């Protein structure tokens, strides 16, 4: 078939399928894009041409910002448990580099996205083209090289003939649970438009089988020995439980062996919040229940976790425990000098369940019964703590989150809460009562301000039957709210709860705790003194949301919030609920987080902070 490189690319992408557990879905659901001279005549023309035919093979969705459209693709892919994703096409130059943050977010969270930045002329015939970098030392460096370190696969298609092998490699990485992340094919603008005779075979429908690797027998035997020699085991459930859809297997394994389960941000909801073995969030933003058990456990069984510093409390949380790490990638399984069980989470839990206890006689091995009972008591204690935190009369942030939680848990079709940065992720991690395993969507690998609305749009595209409730702080909102317009354009309904505390309260608190005097964290006018101590910024975020096409409601107290949420849920169009919560915090941190403090300072509070810092630092372990 004689097609341009871009036409061949679009045709190929529309014919790729993923398969897992016998279910097939489109691997590339559609293409987000913003056009410029670097892609309009190539990928843009190809998308338009296919639309002119009998069927639109690869649906195109215009977005407002390239970073945001990668977030939307991530939100979609995560909500689809990594079995399907979107492509993102951009022009050259700033359109392409705008995607770097989105790519990093995808790769760090291990979420598949396909990025198609335009690139400068392969022939260099007209160089330097508008927006070309021109590195004087090296003509083959372009701004797209900034995408290399944040991509799990990167290729530049300098000739049409290079496309087929690059496409096959790109699909392989996207569907590989161990390798996945941002996949980038940089497309020089002249090559996009160049015609070539492609073999028909390139365009056949292809099914990519998403593997569920099983554990190696010897590794399984070592893992079983580690478990059977433990008395006080604790499971840390991460995002891998979710992507493997291993919730049922996790619950059975935990119940049969009496093992409590703590959850990372990505793993939250792995067990229903009211399960007796669910001890909730673990780590710096963890519950007292999970963090107490973490300190006393003799074996930590990580399932699908990358052990971020929030999870390990910067390597101070786990006491004398050894680690057994179930992970689909050896890179994560090897962390903390753990016993490695490299496998799909579901397969590993099934295999462990079948093997544990079989070597020590008839009775199945169980954790020390006093340990399991203690976990249940601690978890009950934390449930009471949640009740206190969300139960006040005043509309503090914890009360607000409790109200949103009640609304989401009452939805007949289920809901998804979306958040990423600021003070809410910590409160949500501790306080949110997840009723089902796909309800909680907090992007905390990159904790990227601006992910919330764009990511929420992707979640809704993947799960249209669910109500998607985006929680966004004023700081995040000001950074990236424009995808409300895209949601309106697509008729995709979001409920956005805009929580305005007039600044960066999370970083304000952190700033104070490290002796940085909350500098620059409240949104205020520069006053007569030359400091940022004037009036609040005269910024009207509710009016801003309305200007983007959303319906906007303002809630002034708890009752008002309940009413506004009921209205928003019943509405058919994107609705923003604007709230200014009153000051008031939830339960404090149960474990440390390493944020280095100035070693010398003239500020007394910084010196005091450094003393506290040095004390905690002594608890930091190497986990060898």
Query: Which residues are at the interface with ligand TPP (CB under 6 A)?
Result: 421-424, 447-450, 473-476, 501, 504-507
Q: Residue 63 or residue 507: which is nearer to ligand TPP going by CB? A: 507
* Cα separation, 303 vs 596, whole angstroms: 29
Q: Residue 554 or residue 620: which is nearer to Mg ion going by CB? A: 554
Report how far apart, in Å, the C-alpha atoms of 359 and of each of 103, 204, 258, 356, 363 are.
46, 50, 18, 7, 10
From the list 285, 177, 305, 328, the residue with the least C-alpha distance to 234 is 305
Q: Does 425 bind Mg ion (CB under 5 A)?
A: no
Q: Residue 85 or residue 397: which is nearer to ligand TPP going by CB? A: 397
- Burial class of residue 583 (count of CB atoms within 10 Å of its CB; 0-12, 13-18, 19+): exposed
From the list 369, 265, 348, the residue with the least C-alpha distance to 301 is 348
Give which of ligand TPP, Mg ion, none residue 119 binds (C-beta under 5 to 8 Å, depending on kind): none
From the list 264, 263, 257, the residue with the least C-alpha distance to 232 is 257
Binding residues for Mg ion, how many (CB under 5 A)? 4
Q: Residue 424 or residue 597: which is nearer to ligand TPP going by CB? A: 424
* Cα separation, 208 vs 132, whole angstroms: 36
Stretch that binds Mg ion, among 107-115, 274-282, 465-473, 590-598 (CB under 5 A): 465-473
From the list 317, 418, 326, 216, the residue with the least C-alpha distance to 620 is 317
- Minimum CB separation of residue 35 from Mg ion in Å reads 34
Q: Residue 11 or residue 507: which is nearer to Mg ion going by CB? A: 507
- Minimum CB separation of residue 539 from ligand TPP in Å reads 12
List the alpha helices (DSSP H) in 480-602: 483-490, 505-513, 541-547, 558-570
Q: Residue 376 or residue 478: which is nearer to ligand TPP going by CB? A: 478
Q: Does 456 bind Mg ion (CB under 5 A)?
A: no
Give which of ligand TPP, Mg ion, none residue 447 binds (C-beta under 5 to 8 Å, depending on kind): ligand TPP
- Minimum CB separation of residue 523 from Mg ion in Å reads 8
* Cα separation, 251 vs 248, whole angstroms: 5
Report how far apart, in Å, the C-alpha atoms of 498 and of each of 251, 402, 418, 457, 599 are.
35, 15, 12, 15, 38
Q: Residue 364 or residue 582: which is nearer to Mg ion going by CB? A: 582
Give which of ligand TPP, Mg ion, none residue 421 binds (C-beta under 5 to 8 Å, depending on kind): ligand TPP
SS3 261: strand
The tokens describing 434, both together, are 């997840």
For 506-539, b/e burial (b = at least 16 CB within 10 A) is: bbbebbebbbbebeebbbbeeeeeeebeeeeeee
Give which of ligand TPP, Mg ion, none residue 425 binds (C-beta under 5 to 8 Å, depending on kind): none
Q: Residue 13 or residue 74: which is nearer to ligand TPP going by CB? A: 74
- Minimum CB separation of residue 549 from Mg ion in Å reads 23
In angstroms, the first-to-last Cα distance of the chain is 57
SS3 87: strand
- Minimum CB separation of residue 147 from ligand TPP in Å reads 18
Q: Does 427 bind Mg ion (CB under 5 A)?
A: no
Q: Does 357 bind Mg ion (CB under 5 A)?
A: no
- Minimum CB separation of residue 586 from ligand TPP in Å reads 12
Q: Does 405 bind Mg ion (CB under 5 A)?
A: no
Give which of Mg ion, ligand TPP, none residue 424 binds (C-beta under 5 to 8 Å, depending on kind): ligand TPP
Q: Residue 117 or residue 475: which is nearer to Mg ion going by CB? A: 475
Long-range contacts of 158-163 (CB under 8 A, 24+ apart): 158/122, 158/188, 158/191, 159/122, 159/191, 160/5, 160/8, 160/191, 160/194, 160/195, 160/196, 161/196, 163/5, 163/8, 163/9
Give which of ligand TPP, Mg ion, none residue 338 binds (C-beta under 5 to 8 Å, depending on kind): none
- Minimum CB separation of residue 26 from ligand TPP in Å reads 31
Q: Does 450 bind Mg ion (CB under 5 A)?
A: no
- Minimum CB separation of residue 380 from Mg ion in Å reads 33
* Cα separation, 300 vs 317, whole angstroms: 11
Residue pair 260/325 in contact (Cβ under 8 Å)? The answer is no
Q: Residue 101 or residue 142: which is nearer to ligand TPP going by CB? A: 101
Q: Does 581 bind Mg ion (CB under 5 A)?
A: no
Give which of ligand TPP, Mg ion, none residue 283 binds (C-beta under 5 to 8 Å, depending on kind): none
Q: Residue 168 or residue 537: which is nearer to Mg ion going by CB? A: 537
**x-marked contacts with Mg ion along 484-523 as a string, rule CB under 5 A:** -----------------x----------------------
| Interface residue with Mg ion, options 102, 112, 473, 581 (CB under 5 A) | 473
- Minimum CB separation of residue 453 from Mg ion in Å reads 15
* Cα separation, 303 vs 290, whole angstroms: 15
Q: Residue 245 or residue 309: which is nearer to ligand TPP going by CB? A: 309
- In sign, the C-alpha dihedral spanning 586, 590, 595, 598 is positive
From the list 444, 416, 599, the residue with the least C-alpha distance to 506 is 444
Residue pair 561/397 in contact (Cβ under 8 Å)? The answer is no
- Minimum CB separation of residue 427 from ligand TPP in Å reads 9
Give which of Mg ion, ligand TPP, none residue 282 binds (C-beta under 5 to 8 Å, depending on kind): none
- Minimum CB separation of residue 394 from Mg ion in Å reads 18
| Interface residue with Mg ion, options 239, 475, 508, 587 (CB under 5 A) | 475
Q: Residue 202 or residue 522: which is nearer to Mg ion going by CB? A: 522
Query: What are residue 351's phi and psi, to 5 degrees?
Result: -65, -40
Contact residues: Mg ion, CB under 5 A: 473-475, 501
């Amino acid at each position: 078939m004689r097609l341009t490189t871009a036409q061949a690319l679009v045709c190929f992408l529309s014919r790729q399928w993923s398969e897992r557990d016998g279910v097939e879905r489109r691997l590339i659901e559609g293409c987000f894009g913003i056009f410029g001279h670097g892609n309009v005549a190539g990928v843009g023309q190809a998308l338009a041409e296919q639309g002119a035919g009998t069927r639109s093979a690869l649906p195109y969705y215009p977005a407002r910002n390239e970073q945001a459209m990668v977030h939307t693709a991530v939100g979609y892919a995560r909500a689809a448990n990594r079995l399907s994703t979107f492509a993102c096409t951009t022009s050259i130059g700033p359109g392409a580099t705008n995607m770097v943050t989105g790519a990093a977010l995808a790769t760090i969270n291990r979420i598949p996205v396909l990025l198609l930045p335009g690139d400068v002329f392969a022939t260099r015939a007209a160089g330097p083209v508008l927006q070309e970098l021109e590195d004087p030392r090296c003509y083959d460096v372009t701004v797209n090289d900034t995408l290399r370190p944040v991509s799990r696969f990167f290729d530049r298609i300098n000739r049409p003939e290079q496309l087929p092998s690059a496409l096959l490699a790109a699909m392989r990485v996207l569907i590989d649970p161990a390798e996945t992340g941002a996949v980038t094919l940089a497309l020089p603008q002249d090559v996009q438009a160049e015609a070539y005779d492609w073999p028909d075979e390139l365009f056949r429908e292809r099914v990519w089988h998403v593997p569920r690797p099983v554990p190696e027998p010897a590794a399984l035997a070592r893992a079983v020995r580690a478990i059977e020699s433990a008395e006080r085991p604790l499971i840390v459930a991460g995002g891998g439980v979710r992507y493997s859809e291993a919730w049922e297997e996790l619950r059975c394994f935990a119940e049969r062996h009496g093992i409590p389960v703590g959850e990372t941000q990505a793993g939250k909801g792995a067990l229903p919040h009211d399960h007796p073995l669910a001890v909730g969030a673990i780590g710096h933003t963890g519950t007292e229940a999970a963090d107490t058990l973490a300190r006393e456990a003799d074996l930590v069984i990580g399932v699908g976790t990358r052990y971020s510093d929030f999870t390990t409390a910067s390597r101070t949380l786990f006491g004398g425990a050894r680690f057994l790490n179930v992970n689909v990638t050896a890179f994560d399984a090897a962390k903390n000098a753990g016993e490695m069980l490299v496998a799909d989470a579901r397969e590993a839990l099934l295999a462990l369940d079948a093997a544990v206890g079989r070597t020590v006689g008839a009775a199945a091995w169980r954790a020390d019964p006093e340990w399991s009972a203690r976990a249940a008591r601690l978890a009950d204690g934390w449930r009471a703590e949640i009740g206190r935190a969300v139960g006040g009369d005043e509309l503090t942030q914890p009360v607000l989150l409790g109200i949103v939680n009640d609304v989401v848990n009452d939805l007949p079709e289920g809901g998804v809460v979306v958040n990423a940065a600021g003070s809410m992720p910590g409160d949500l991690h501790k306080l949110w009562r997840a009723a089902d395993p796909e309800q909680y969507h907090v992007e905390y690998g990159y904790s990227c301000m601006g992910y919330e609305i764009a990511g929420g749009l992707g979640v809704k595209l993947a799960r249209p039957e669910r109500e998607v409730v985006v929680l966004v702080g004023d700081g995040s909102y000001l950074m990236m709210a424009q995808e409300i317009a895209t949601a309106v354009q697509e008729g995709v309904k979001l409920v956005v709860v805009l929580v305005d505390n007039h600044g960066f309260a999370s970083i304000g608190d952190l700033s104070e705790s490290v002796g940085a005097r909350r500098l620059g964290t409240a949104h205020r006018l520069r006053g007569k003194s030359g400091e940022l101590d004037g009036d609040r910024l005269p910024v009207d975020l509710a009016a801003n949301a309305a200007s983007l096409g959303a319906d906007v409601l303002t809630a002034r107290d708890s009752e008002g919030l309940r009413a506004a949420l009921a209205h928003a849920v019943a509405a058919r169009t994107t609705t923003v609920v604007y709230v200014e919560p009153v000051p008031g915090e939830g339960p404090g941190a149960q474990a440390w987080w390493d944020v280095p403090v100035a070693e010398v300072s003239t500020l007394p509070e910084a010196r005091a902070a450094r003393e506290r810092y040095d004390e905690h630092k002594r608890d930091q372990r190497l986990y060898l």
